[in-house]
Structure 1
Amino acid sequence: MVDEKKVNQVVELRNDGSVRHGYELPLLLFAGFRTLIDRVHAELAEQGHPDVRPAHGFAMQAVGLGGATASEVGRRLGVSKQAAGKTVDRLVVLGYAERADDPADARRKLVRLTPHGLDCLGRSAAIFDRLRAEWVAALGADRVAGMEDALRTVVPAEAFRLDAAGWLGGA
């Protein structure tokens, strides 16, 4: 049974007297994330990357500039080697990545980003910068910086991982 007194102690009222519920925070954070990601991918589609999906972006970040094995990609994404392999296969088919022999170990294959993959990441970074500037224009530089600083305060450093694709149900 829910203790109404305890619930009321943590409920905050808005300036207009309406209630701020705790469940709204994660929904608003997710909606902000989703809004940014959807806008990035819509613009990437217009700029020559119509097939790239959010999971691909996480996977390309996991591959990184130096390349990685499929196992390393899986660990970085928090998914199985098989799931990572499927995502890498898709990146290869789409031309965003390639498999190459590892010069340090002939038994291993490295996944490396192609010029097309690097172009996609570069464009997405530029789009994110522009979208942040739009938020600054709408909310003010101090509010956006304050929001970022506040999130850095409450989000532990180890929580900043690339495994969101795995956490959300697969790469």
Structure 2
Amino acid sequence: MSSDAPGFELPLRLFLAFRVIIDELHAELAREGHPDLRPMHGFVFQAIGPDGTTAVELGRRLGVSKQAAGKMVESLERAGYVQRGTDPRDARRKIVRLTGRGMDSLARSERIFERIRDDWVRRLGTDRVRALEEDLRRMTPADLWRLDMPGWFGTV
């Protein structure tokens, strides 16, 4: 009999690690003035990108319907994280862009992620964290920014 963990434990542990990190991030973001942000919002902000995007394109990038993307944009607009404006190249198109509040949440998230990683290094050691990261790079696609998770989970 093998002393290895059952096969189902690996994806659950990977997901739990993700959850622990994201929960810690959002607790800290809440303390720093962003209590209304949810894990999905990070995917939305990345999908909007620095140049903005349309609701149709946002839905495509997230793997959700145009209507679901539109609801998310409305919610984030009410909270002050995004704004809709006219595309300077085509007045018929509406472009969704991050506001200063949205950009602030991303900058804070970047800093918090670095702090969380540093905590993992303190607890596990530099070599183990680097080895874990390298192993995950070897086992996952090169495209780090796969944003269609919300659609894949079916949560939007």
If the length of structure 1 is used for normalisation, what is the TM-score?
0.87
CA distance in 1, matches of 2:72, 2:59: 9
Corresponding position: 1:75 with 2:65 = no
Is the contact made by 1:71 and 1:81 (CA closer than 8 Å) also made in structure 2?
yes
DSSP 3-state at the match of 1:65 = coil
* Structure 1 unaligned spans of 5+: 1-7, 14-18
* Code of the aligned partner of 2:113: F
- Could you list the per-position Cα deviations for residues 69-119 of structure 1 after superposition, in whole angstroms to 9, with x for gaps in the alignment? 111111111111111111111110100000000011111000000000000
Q: Please give the root-mean-square deviation of Cα atoms over the aligned residues, in Å.
A: 1.3
What is the percent sequence identity of the aligned residues? 56
Cα 1:33–1:87 shift into 2, 3 Å: same
- Could you list the per-position Cα deviations for residues 109-162 of structure 1 after superposition, in whole angstroms to 9, with x for gaps in the alignment? 000000000000110111001000000111111111111111111112257501
DSSP 3-state at the match of 2:84 = strand
CA distance in 1, matches of 2:127, 2:5: 23
Cα 1:159–1:61 shift into 2, 3 Å: closer
Is the contact made by 1:83 and 1:170 (CA closer than 8 Å) also made in structure 2?
no
DSSP 3-state at the match of 2:11 = helix
Cα 1:125–1:159 shift into 2, 3 Å: closer
Corresponding position: 1:157 with 2:142 = yes
* Code of the aligned partner of 1:139: L
DSSP 3-state at the match of 1:20 = coil
Is the contact made by 1:69 and 1:111 (CA closer than 8 Å) also made in structure 2?
yes
1:1-171 maps to which residues of 2 (within 5 A)?
12-13=2-3, 19-158=4-143, 160-171=145-156
Cα 1:144–1:96 shift into 2, 3 Å: same
DSSP 3-state at the match of 2:53 = coil
* Structure 2 unaligned spans of 5+: none
Which structure 1 residue ranges, 4+ long, deviate > 2 Å from structure 2? 157-160
Bigger radius of gyration? 1
* Code of the aligned partner of 1:163: D
Q: How many residues align?
A: 156
CA distance in 2, matches of 1:166, 1:36: 21
CA distance in 2, matches of 1:158, 1:65: 18
CA distance in 1, matches of 2:129, 2:150: 25
Shift of 1:65: 1.0
